[in-house]
Structure 1
Amino acid sequence: MDPKVVYETDRLMVRDWVDTDEDRVFDIYRRWEVSRWLGAEPRVMTDRGAATKVIARWNERNQDSTYGVWAVEERSTGTVAGTVLLVPLPEPSDGTASKGEVEVGWHFHPDSWGRGLATEAARGAIGHGFTAGLSQIHAVVRPDNAASLAVCHRLTMRPIGRTSRWYGAELEAFLI
């Protein structure tokens, strides 16, 4: 069965995950240079079985047509370059009330870095969100993640300052 395609860009097809993506998911998230930026307590994926479980979890989230955690596949090669997500931000960790904020994010394999693929995928996710009726979208980035900070600037996202509101970590927040 072919995966559901969420949107396409000039170079990318953004789609649901399939079981055959397991090795690539494991290869992306087993790398410290990728995983070090993710979560309150970053850690690498340690086995392929974890990739199977995370694919199932992501595809469960993808049931809503607005939100999801999707595979970013290069159309020219069929290679999964990484992940793009458009999801509600978690309940704030700073004790303030949730305002229904939504986040765009990206995680790419190092062999896909430096070619504008994260910016292209995120731009498509933002467009998808706005088409679905969202009025604003956030990005949250660790302050020393220069590559993701640059993506936010290329997306013309407005910096709104440092916050510990989400994920139990101090992050740079952006808004578009």
Structure 2
Amino acid sequence: MTVLTTERLSLRDWTDDPADLARIYDIYRRSEITRWLGAVPGLPMTDPAQAVDRLRVWRERHAADHGRYGTWAIEVRDTGLVAGTVLLKPLPGRDEAVRTVDIEVGWHLHPDSWGKGYATEAARALLAREFAAGTREIYAVVSPGNEASMAVCRRLGMTHVGRRDDWYGGELLETFVLAAPGA
């Protein structure tokens, strides 16, 4: 199901179609992606069957969110290529089993889609939708040293507020925030 469209992209649900599962595996098997994601169990992937598990985790995480929050495929409309993943979700707290009221936007793109503005375009669409739903501010949390993602944050107009350890079990992360227009 398509969640949002932009000039170049469709943000849609990941599916259990073999092509989607292969792309999930191809993205999340890569150390150049997963090294920035912290200590996520099962990453980097070492077996294509792990893509099924990752999809199940995403679906379960967002089952009660009724489409407001999720982990979606970024599909290039002209080619059908899935460039990567974009997410919008409540940040997990120091106790990772507990959601906070803070909302996070994030992205994980395949290297063949880096440098094309897809992360910025996809995230901008989700930010606009979430601000229209009444959220007053949205965060992006970035592993220290991930200059490419920090550049996306700046292109989105987000303000760097330093390193915080409020979320993801207390991991120290570069934190960016964007306030709703007029807030």
User: Root-mean-square deviation (CA), in Å?
Assistant: 1.9
1:5-154 equivalent positions in 2, closer than 5 A? 5-20=2-17, 21-40=20-39, 43-60=43-60, 61=62, 63-92=65-94, 100-154=101-155
The answer to whether the 8 A contact 2:38-2:143 is kept is no
CA distance in 2, matches of 1:99, 1:114: 32
- 1:169 positional shift: 2.0
Instruction: Evaluate the alpha carbon distance shift between residue 135 and residue 76 of structure 1 in structure 2; reply closer, same or farther with a 3 A threshold.
Output: same
TM value normalised by structure 1: 0.90
Give the structure 1 partner of residue 165 of structure 2.
164
CA distance in 2, matches of 1:139, 1:65: 20
- 1:137 positional shift: 0.5
- 1:41 positional shift: 5.6
The answer to whether the 8 A contact 2:27-2:110 is kept is yes
More strand by share: 2
- 1:34 positional shift: 0.5
**Unmatched segments (≥5 aa) in structure 2:** 179-183
CA distance in 2, matches of 1:111, 1:41: 23
The answer to whether the 8 A contact 2:3-2:11 is kept is yes
**Unmatched segments (≥5 aa) in structure 1:** none
TM value normalised by structure 2: 0.87
The answer to whether the 8 A contact 1:89-1:166 is kept is yes
Give 2:75's aligned amino acid: E
What is the CA deviation profile of residues 7-64 of structure 1, one whole-angstrom value per residue up to 9, with x for unaligned ones?
0111100011111200000000000000100023683011111101211222341652
Give 1:29's aligned amino acid: Y
CA distance in 1, matches of 2:136, 2:66: 17
Instruction: Evaluate the alpha carbon distance shift between residue 165 and residue 11 of structure 1 in structure 2; reply closer, same or farther with a 3 A threshold.
Output: same
The number of residue pairs the alignment matches comes to: 171
CA distance in 1, matches of 2:81, 2:176: 29
Give 1:135's aligned amino acid: R
